Chains A and B, each alone.
Chain A
Amino acid sequence: DGGITQSPKYLFRKEGQNVTLSCEQNLNHDAMYWYRQDPGQGLRLIYYSQIVNDFQKGDIAEGYSVSREKKESFPLTVTSAQKNPTAFYLCASSMIAVGQLSNYGYTFGSGTRLTVV
C-alpha cells in the first residue's frame, strides 16, 4: 500500500545532540513537507521541498536542516541550535500539477514525538 512512513514514533534527545527524523513516501509525490505541532499552535511549516536536491525554509526553520537526495525521502535533522525541540513532528507529501489548478491535499505520516531529556 502506498503511504508515508515516519520513524521513529518516539525519539528522545539529550541536550546538545543532533537527531534525525526519517520520512519516506512511496506515493511518487513531488513535494514533501515537515510541520511542527505544539499544543494550541496548530501546525507550523519547518521546511518543504518540491523537487529533488531543492528545498525551501518554512516559517520556523531555525535550528533545523533537511536534505532531499531522493524523491522518496525527506529527512529532518533537529540540531542543537533548536532551543525548544520538544514537539510532535509531522511529515507530509503532495502532488504538484504544473500549469494547472490543483486541489490536492496532503498525505500525512503518523508523526514522531520528540522529547528532550
Chain B
Amino acid sequence: AQTVTQSQPEMSVQEAETVTLSCTYDTSESDYYLFWYKQPPSRQMILVIRQEAYKQQNATENRFSVNFQKAAKSFSLKISDSQLGDAAMYFCAYRSAQGGSEKLVFGKGTKLTVNP
C-alpha cells in the first residue's frame, strides 16, 4: 500500500518570504499523480497543484511550484512571496494511475503560519 509522509507538522514564514513544505511517499508503481491541497480555516479543501509522475518538468501555478524527485520519491511544495492568505493546513496526496484505483492517499498535513 502507498503511504505519504509529511515530516513537518508545523511551519512558519514571514510575509513575502519563501517557504518549502516537504513530502515523501512510498510506492512500487511507476505511474501515478501527486497533489498538494490547501485547507484554510474554513476547512474547504482546495487543490493547489498537481504533478504527473511521467513528466520530468516540475509543475508551477503562479507562486506555487513543486520540486519533484521521482527517484527519491520526494514532492516538496515551494510557496514564493508568501501572503497572509496562504496560512492553512497543506496536505500532500498520492493517486495511482492504474485504472480503477482512484483513491487519494493523504499525508497528515503541515500547518503553515504566515507572520506579518
Contact = CB atoms under 8 A, between A and B. Distances in A.
Q: Do A and B come from one complex?
A: yes
Interface in A65-97: 88, 90, 92, 94, 96-97
B33 interface: yes
Interface residues of B, number: 27
A45 interface: yes
Given A102-B97, A105-B35, A42 B44 contact: no
B89 to A, nearest CB: 9
B44 A110 contact: yes
A98 to B, nearest CB: 6
Contact of B97 (A43, A50, A94, A101): A101
A94 B50 contact: no
A98 B101 CA distance: 11
Contacts of B102: 31, 48, 50, 94, 96, 102
Given A43-B91, A48-B102, A108-B44, A101 B109 contact: no
- Interface of chain B, helix or strand or loop or mixed? loop
A99 interface: yes
A41 B67 CA distance: 24
Contacts of B91: 42-43
B103 A33 contact: yes
A105 B50 contact: yes
A40 B97 CA distance: 27
A106 B45 contact: yes
B16 interface: no
Interface in B1-50: 6, 9, 31, 33, 35, 37, 42-45, 47, 50
A40 B99 contact: no
B85 interface: no
A45 B43 contact: no
Nearest to B104: A106
A116 B99 CA distance: 38
The winner among B42, B97, B102 for most chain A CB atoms within 10 A is B102
